[in-house]
Amino acid sequence: MKKLCMTKLFGGPQLDRFFQIREQETLKLLKSLVDKSREGKPCDIGEELSVFASAIICRMVIGNICVENPNLPIEISKLVGDIMENAAKFSFNEVFGPLNRFDLLGKGKRLVSATRKYDELLEQLMKKYDDNFDNLINSRDEEQNDLMFILMETYKDTNAELKLTRTHIKKFFLEMFFAGVETTATAMQSAITELINNPSAFMKLREEIHSVVGSNYRLLKESDVPKLRFLQAVVKETVRLNPSYSNLAGKAMRHSDSWEKPDDFFPERFLADSMDNNSDHHPTMDFKGDHDFRFLPFGSGRRACIGASHGLIVTHATIGALVQCFDWEVKDDAKIENELETGPIIVRDCTISGYKIPAKTRLFLDIWSLGMDPNHWENPLEFWPQRVAVKLHTTRVTREDWSGNSNMIDVRGRHFHRIPFGTGRRSCPGHGEGPGRTLPRAHSLVRIPVSRPSPFRPLDIEL
C-alpha cells in the first residue's frame, strides 16, 4: 500500500495535477476571510483552516463527485470527526473487561452508528465510480484521475501487484482524513499563532513576499515558495516547536544541547546568512531527517510520513497567502497561547526531585528510560515477562516479589514507571487495539513450534 501511495497517490506528478484544486480552495478560504473582515466579524482561524484542509483532501480523493455536491467535504469531515470522537472515549476495561459485552454507557452503539454511516456513504461513492468506470477509462482524461479512480482501477485490475478490496479502500480513505486534515490544519494554525505573537517575524515575512511577488498585487503562488527562504524557515521553526506528535523526536527538537533558546520562536536559526548574533544556525536541515536526527518533524526512513510533500505544499502556500493578504489582530492586544504544543504543561511553580520547575514549563517524558530504570526494575535489559504479573510496590520489582496469584500491572499509566501508551487525557485512544492484535499471535505460539536457527546466538538477533 505504501508503494502505491508513493508512486500513484503522493508522487510528484500526481501532486502537480492537484495544483488547481489547492489554488481554488485557497481562493475560497481567502474570500471567506475577506467577507468576515468586511462585516467586522471575528474569525475562528482554526475552524477555517480545518474546513480548508478537509476540502482539499476530499477533492483529491473524490474530485469528480465533489463538483456535483459541494457540501460533501463537510459531510465526510463530520462523519470522520464523529468516529474519532467516539473511538477516543473507550477505556481498556470497556474493551477487554468483564462488562465489555454490555455497552452500559452506549459508547459502542454510537461508534458503530458513526462507522456504519461512513461505510454507507463510501459505498455509495464507490458505486458511482463503478457505474462510470468504463467511461473514465475510455476518456483517459488525467484531470479526472482522482485518488478514488486510481484505487478503483487497482481494485479491478486482476493482474495488479497489490490486491485491494472495497474494505481496504474505505479504511485507506478513513486514515487519509485522520492523518491528512487535522495535522495540516494544526501546522498552519500554529504558524499563524507564532507570527502573531512575533510581529517582527510577521513583517519580515511580508516584506520578503512583496519583494518576490512584486508591486502588481498578484497572489503568492506555489511556484514562488522556493524563492521565499524566510517563509521556509518559518515553517521549519513552526513544526519544530509544534510537532504533530509527542515522542522522543519532539523532545529532541527542543533539546537545549542541540538548540539555543529551544522554546523561542526564532526562524533565523534555519538561515545561513542571518546577521543575528545568535550562533544557533542550521541552514542545511531539511524535512526528511535523513542526515540530522535533531530535526524530525515527519519522521525518517521507512516510517516517515508519506503525505509530508502534500502537507508542506499546502502549508507554505497558505501561510504565505494569509500573511500577504491580512493584518491579524487579537482582541485587547492579548498574547495568544499556542495550545497546540504537545506534552504536559506545569500549571504552577513546583519542585520535582529537588528541581524547581517554573509555571508554564512544558515537560517531555522519556517513556523508554522509565521502562529501563534500574531503580524500578531489576535487570531492566533482561526479557522477563513474569515481572509484570506482580503487585506494584514503592520499591523496585525483584524476582522475590513475583507471585503467580498477584494482580497484573495494567497499561493505562496508573503506575508511572510503566506507561507504554501514555496516561490521562493524552493517552493513546487506540491502545485497546494492541492487545486485540497481540493475543491471537501469542496463542499461535502454543500451536506452532518455533525455534532459532542453529547458527544464530541470542546476541545475533537484535531488534
List residues forming the annotated binding site for heme: 428
Q: Are strands 350-352 and 355-357 parallel, antiparallel or unpaired?
A: antiparallel
Please identify which residue in the block is written with the cell numbers 470522537.
85
| Helix H or strand E segment including 356 | strand 355-357
Q: How far apart are CA 169 and CA 1, in angstroms?
A: 10
| Cβ-proximal residues to 267 (8 Å cutoff; 6+ apart), any chain | 201, 230, 233, 234, 236, 237
**CA-CA distance, 195 to 189, in Å (whole number)?**
10
**In whole angstroms, what separates CA 12 from the centre of its chain?**
21
* Best CA proximity match to 177, nearest among 109, 243, 118: 118
DSSP letter (8 states) at residue 223: G
Picking from 255, 236, 250, the residue whose alpha carbon sits closest to that of residue 344 is 250
Q: Which helix (H) or strand (E) holds 457?
A: none
310, 15 contact by CB (below 8 A): yes
Alpha carbons 69 and 197: distance in angstroms, whole number: 39
397: Cβ contacts below 8 Å, ≥ 6 apart:
376, 377, 378, 387, 390
- Spatial CA neighbour of 418 closest among 427, 426, 431, 409: 409
Alpha-carbon distance values, 394 to 257, 283, 369, 377, 407 (Å)? 33, 48, 18, 11, 15
- Take residue 307 and report the three cell numbers written for it: 503525505
- Find out whether 445 and 456 touch, Cβ atoms under 8 Å: no
Helix (H, G, I), strand (E, B) or coil at 431: coil
Annotated binding site: 428
Distance CA 63, CA 19 (A): 13
Distance CA 69, CA 71 (A): 5
